[in-house]
Amino acid sequence: MKTKKTVHFVLPLANVDDSAIGLEIDSHFVIEKWAMDQLVELESHFSAMDRDDFVTEVEHVCCLDVGSGYVYVISGEIDHDEYWKPVPETADFVEKWFNRGRYLARINEKIKLMRLFKEGQIETKGSYVYDKRGKEIQPIVSSGLGVAPHKEIPYNLTNGEKEQLSQFLKKYNTPLKLDFLQLAFENLNQSYSVEHDELAFLTLMIGVEVIFNDGNQELKYRITRGMAVLLGSVYDPHEIYESMRKLYDKRSRLVHTAKHDDLLFDDIGRLRFLLRAAILRLLELGIAKDKLSQSLTISGFGDDIAKIKRTK
């Protein structure tokens, strides 16, 4: 019987802990905890980097405790023939590269969905793709570990959340079906990659504006009231309204005067929470932006716009 050949993928992770072990990213890939020596051995097939230097780099970039002796990775394999599936002779270099890179891109889209599900700066840091014949590793391609995250926000899951996340990753794919939600979603994820806090804050605020700004009312009022109404059946609408009002005032000062002395890291966390909650709520509702604007306009604090959507 012919042995099935596979192509192996390993992607080191930053800002994750034991709570994510065993989580299926999709049908091919799962989060595992590796001994550091196992990753060092894999790296040795791709480069001649000094072991101690490599371990130091992994600990820094993956946000691990010094001397921990382990690393978290996404590991998986796919059919060899599927990976090397021929592309048309007319395909240009970019098309050929994308064909090979589509699996890595798919993993990173799942990481984005994980950040939508729950706060935490989980990231893939580099990648290794290789064939394996018996114990012999045959390298295909790898990428460097990159840089450490700007802010270390650990990604931690309770047992209940882990099961919910597993179902969430099976239910949703990117791009999200509604264009305005996809754009807001991209801004949410971009905020993790921006080096400066004030730019991360503005990136998140753009995501909020994409959802709530319909160009028909004063922007501050539209955003603050819209967020409070959308989330008011789950959270305290008055608290959300006041939080959003203060955050938007900070946005205005930052944009119009470039002053950010009063911008706190907690402000970024709060705004990211509100944007994430809004996107998740709208994924459940599946409501187009024009219908959303109408529902938010006629709804009051504490109203469930899902019911209004069904009756209007």
Summarised one tens digit per residue, pLDDT across range 131-175 is: 988 788 999 999 989 888 776 678 999 999 999 999 999 999 999
Q: What percent of the chain has pLDDT over 70?
A: 91
Identify the domain containing residue 218 by its residue range.
175-311
- CA 95-76-124 angle, to 5 degrees, is 70
Q: In the listed set 124, 146, 169, which residue is the last one of a domain according to the structure?
A: 169
Q: How confident is the model at residue 91 (pLDDT cuts 50, 70, 90)?
A: low
User: Residue 202, SS3?
Assistant: helix
pTM of the model: 0.87
In terms of domains, do 199 and 149 share one?
no
Q: Among the three residues 144, 169, 194, which one is the final residue of a domain in this structure?
A: 169
Same domain for 139 and 179? no
Tokens, residue 171: 């239910």
d(CA 32, CA 24): 10
Has residue 283 been placed in a domain?
yes
Asked whether the beta carbons of 162 and 257 are under 8 A apart, the reply is: no
Residue 309 and residue 289 in contact, taking contact as beta carbons nearer than 8 Å = no
Residue 249, pLDDT above cutoff 60 = yes
Cα gap 305→233, rounded to integer Å: 8
Q: CA-to-CA distance for 57 and 66, rounded, in angstroms?
A: 10
Does 28 share its domain with 156? yes
Six-digit token string for 10: 């390993």
Looking at the domain assignment, is residue 1 inside a domain? no
Name the domain count of the chain.
Answer: 2
Mean pLDDT in residue range 69-87: 87
Among 147, 169, 191, identify where a domain stops. Answer: 169
| Tokens (6 digits) for 185 | 């979603």
The answer to whether 106 touches 83, Cβ cutoff 8 Å, is no
Whether 200 and 155 share a structural domain: no
Do 241 and 120 reside in the same domain of the chain?
A: no
Check whether residue 128 and residue 210 sit in a common domain. Answer: no
Give, in order, the Cα–Cα distances in Å from 309 to each of 117, 178, 213, 275, 303.
24, 16, 19, 21, 11
Query: Does the residue 99 lie in any domain?
Result: yes
Whether 223 and 146 map to the same domain: the answer is no
**Same domain (yes/no): 259, 284:** yes
Q: What is the mean pLDDT of residues 234-254?
A: 92
